[in-house]
Amino acid sequence: MINRVVKDASEALKDVKDGMTLMVGGFGLCGIPENSITQLVKMGVKNLTCISNNAGVDDFGLGLLLQTRQIKKMISSYVGENDEFERQMLSGELEVELVPQGTLATRCMAAGYGMPVIYTPAGVGTEVALGKETRRFTFHGEEKEYLMEKAFEADFAIVKAWKGDTAGNLIYRSTARNFNPLMAMAGRITVAEVEELVPAGELDPDHIHTPGIYVHRIFQGNQYEKRIEQRTVRKKS
């Protein structure tokens, strides 16, 4: 029986080295691999390139790695609520590649599918297209220009799931799914942390989002804070 379980984040990430490229799941603070990010801070690895939708907030999520100057380059779709991210980008301390959100997702998918490039109309005629190849294609009877984007090449994909089994099958919960399943299939090594780890065979196959074949290491996380970035509520009438 396949068993992909490791003890904890320390064992799962033991061979992350300086200068590596990491995909990190989540959207804002939703569905982020909290335990793994904390472990990366403890390890002190530096000069990292991080591919993630954004970088959390100043004192949580990938913001923790920005505080300690462990990230050399961020590949993201927006800056978000992180003032330190914005400061480092504007000062030139941090290299930033801003990518349209759909393109970010599709470059992850391309990596998982083994496709070296994709063509997309997103970004044509903007700063996103500078230095990149474009080609004209006819699609559904309409000819227009498309931008060539390369699939991501990540040493590690680090994701967070709600439930997982010992064979690495993963189930995400609600909006915490976000970029996690796309990134899970795209890393050379995929590490998954889960809130609940069960024996293989206990998950309903119809409910599994990421098949275990994509996951190399899995561990049960703990003490999840699950912060809410912006809480909006109505006053009681």
| Per-residue model confidence as pLDDT tens digits over 71-129 | 999 999 987 778 888 899 999 999 999 999 999 999 999 999 999 999 999 999 999 99
Delimit the domains of the chain by residue range.
17-101+152-220, 117-150
Three-state secondary structure readout of the chain = CCCCECCCHHHHCCCCCCCCEEEECCECCECCCHHHHHHHHHHCCCCEEEECCCCCECCECCHHHHHCCCEEEEEECCCCCCHHHHHHHHHCCCEEEECCHHHHHHHHHHHHHCCCEEEECCCCCCHHHCCCCEEEEEECCEEEEEEEEECCCEEEEEEEEEEEECCCCEECCHHHCCCHHHHHCCEEEEEEEEEEEECCCCCCHHHCCECHHHCCEEEECCCCCCCCCCCCCCCCC
Confidence label for 203 from pLDDT (cuts 50, 70 and 90): very high
Q: What is the pLDDT of residues 13-63, one digit of tens each?
A: 999 999 999 999 999 889 999 999 999 999 999 999 999 998 888 888 899
pLDDT at residue 118, as a whole number: 96
Q: Domain spanning 17-101+152-220: which superfamily?
A: Glutaconate Coenzyme A-transferase (3.40.1080.10)
pTM of the model: 0.92
